[in-house]
Amino acid sequence: MSFTDSPAPAFPFSTTGCPMDPPALATELREERPVTRVTLWDGSRPWLVTRHADIRQALRDPRLSSDVRRHGFPFLSAAQSEAIGEALITFIRMDPPEHTAQRRMLTQEFIVKRMESMRSEIDTTVDALLDRMMAGGAPADLMEAFALPLPSLVICRMLGVPYEDHAYFQTRSQLVQDTTAAPEEVNTALGELAVYLDRLAGEKASEPVDDLISRLVVEQEIPGHLTRHEVAGMALNLLIAGHETTANQIALSVLALQRHPEQWAKLCEHPDLVPAAVEELLRHQSIVPTGLQRVAGEDLEIGGTAIRAGEGVLLQIGAANRDPRAFTDPDRLDVERNAHRHMAFGFGVHQCLGQPLARIELQSALTALVRRLPGLRIAKPLEELDFRHGGNIYGLFSLPVEW
Ligand code: HEM
């Protein structure tokens, strides 16, 4: 189907074509109608923005709000709309100055210097996971054996969440991000996660240790800057944001490189190219299929189109990262490209807080894979791989590999 058939096509777009590329319709719209209406599940018609320059400008504009409590916020499913419980709204869904105050409580936790001090521990975790996967013999599921446990172990350690409980929160956090799940199921999962983290914060309050949740309790809850419930909400957001994202980015990166064997070979020969490759892979492979959600707080203009206060706006960073106006020959994967202007981590005040950590994890994972498993191959054809469609995070449920 071509976009010309519909003045406001249904969104999210169905994924026809190569699952490693943005939907064809998003690409068409970026070229022909870069700011256009789309139709959501509830019949509402927010704007979809697909060009790099327009999204950058929009993300700098304080009139565009991230506040889910504002009328007109573009929820992507009934589950997402109903599951936004007051207590679990944290700064990612707030505007300044509320956003600034909460984000500031965590900035010290994620500064580059602190993250760099974790690099050698992350390298050790990477090696231990690969040792175990390789000892089990090929084929193995790279997602289960490596891509998921790595960020999960790291964020658990940072927060002070027992990793033994990962199956409990992983299944629930996957459900929370599944836009096709029933609202009741999502609410139950969110409630259970909130209770779990609430209880954990309670334990830390009686016996604080050197971890992020303890610091939130001691420095923010006890002096009265946050309630216990807000501490649990913040921890929950970090737990979800901290592992599903990086895990899927690792898996998609490996798959993309395997589909461009000359790029994989280049990295095996020159592992010093890994940091540049990570930026290029973040650009080329988008794990945020639906884009960033905003609502206009006041009348404004994006790319010459008038947006009225109260109208929803979806900023599709995946399409922007393949915009030929921003990147030469954008569909080509080139690990030597200078891709630093990509928007995989967003832009503006909400730009990803965890990006220094994500970068270290991605660099460490890829360096170890090209060094230790240069003969890595995907064990199934692309059509048989289990892609994760229909959620807020795109990726793979499993990735069978051989070496
Ligand atoms: C490859 C991995 C990751 C990607 C692609 C990614 C992507 C993003 C994007 C696009 C945003 C902006 C959302 C918006 O503007 O509405 C964001 C925000 C955020 N991310 Fe990440 N993220 C990743 C990893 C992480 C990790 C590892 C953490 C924490 C441990 C994290 C924590 C956050 C937080 C707390 C925010 C909200 C920031 C704010 O609103 O001020 N992310 N992320």
Taking the CA of residue 317 as reference, the ligand 1 atom at the shortest distance is 10
In which order are the strands placed within the sheet that holds 400-402? Answer: 140-141, 400-402, 377-378
Q: Is the pLDDT of residue 391 over 80?
A: no
**pLDDT > 70 fraction of the chain, expressed in percent and rounded:** 97
How many other C-beta atoms can be found within 10 angstroms of the C-beta atom of residue 223?
Answer: 8
Residue 186's pLDDT is: 83
Tokens 């231990």 found at? 128
Least confident of 157-166, 170-179, 286-295, 299-308: 170-179
**pLDDT interval class at 187 (50, 70, 90):** confident
Mean per-residue pLDDT for 270-297?
96
**pLDDT interval class at 294 (50, 70, 90):** very high
Rg for the chain, CA atoms, rounded: 21
Taking the CA of residue 348 as reference, the ligand 1 atom at the shortest distance is 15
pLDDT digits (tens, 9 = 90+) for 71-123: 999 998 887 787 665 546 789 999 999 999 999 999 999 998 889 999 999 99
Distance of CA 365 to the CA centre of its chain: 17
Ligand 1 pocket mutation pick from 89, 90, 122, 245 by most atoms within 8 angstroms of CB? 245
Tell me if 281 CB under 6 Å of ligand 1. Answer: no
pLDDT digits (tens, 9 = 90+) for 46-73: 999 999 999 999 999 999 999 999 999 9
251 close to 282: Cβ distance less than 8 angstroms = no
* Distance between CA atoms of residues 128 and 132, nearest Å: 6
Q: Is the pLDDT of residue 1 over 70?
A: no
**pLDDT interval class at 6 (50, 70, 90):** confident
Distances (CA, A) of 9 to 6, 18, 286: 5, 20, 21
Distance 353 CA to ligand 1 centre (A): 6
Residue 389's pLDDT is: 82
CATH number of 3-402: 1.10.630.10
pLDDT digits (tens, 9 = 90+) for 214-262: 999 999 999 999 999 999 999 999 998 888 899 999 999 999 999 999 9
Tell me if 354 CB under 6 Å of ligand 1. Answer: yes
Name the residue with the closest Cα to ligand 1, atom 1.
246
Distance 345 CA to ligand 1 centre (A): 6
Upper half-sphere CA count for residue 212 (Cβ side, 13 Å): 25
Residue 217's pLDDT is: 97
Tell me if 233 CB under 6 Å of ligand 1. Answer: no
Q: Is the pLDDT of residue 345 over 60?
A: yes
Amino acid at 360: I
pLDDT digits (tens, 9 = 90+) for 123-141: 999 999 999 999 999 999 9
Distances (CA, A) of 379 to 112, 253, 376, 384: 36, 16, 9, 10
User: What mean pLDDT is reported for the chain?
Assistant: 93
Residue 185 burial class via C-beta count within 10 angstroms: exposed 0-12, middle 13-18, buried 19 and up: middle
Ligand 1 pocket mutation pick from 352, 353, 357 by most atoms within 8 angstroms of CB? 352
Distance 190 CA to ligand 1 centre (A): 19
Distance 354 CA to ligand 1 centre (A): 6
Q: Is the pLDDT of residue 3 over 60?
A: no
Tell me if 365 CB under 6 Å of ligand 1. Answer: no
Pairing of strands 300-302, 312-315: unpaired
* Distance between CA atoms of residues 30 and 49, nearest Å: 8
Residue 199's pLDDT is: 95
Tell me if 344 CB under 6 Å of ligand 1. Answer: yes
Q: Is the pLDDT of residue 178 over 80?
A: no
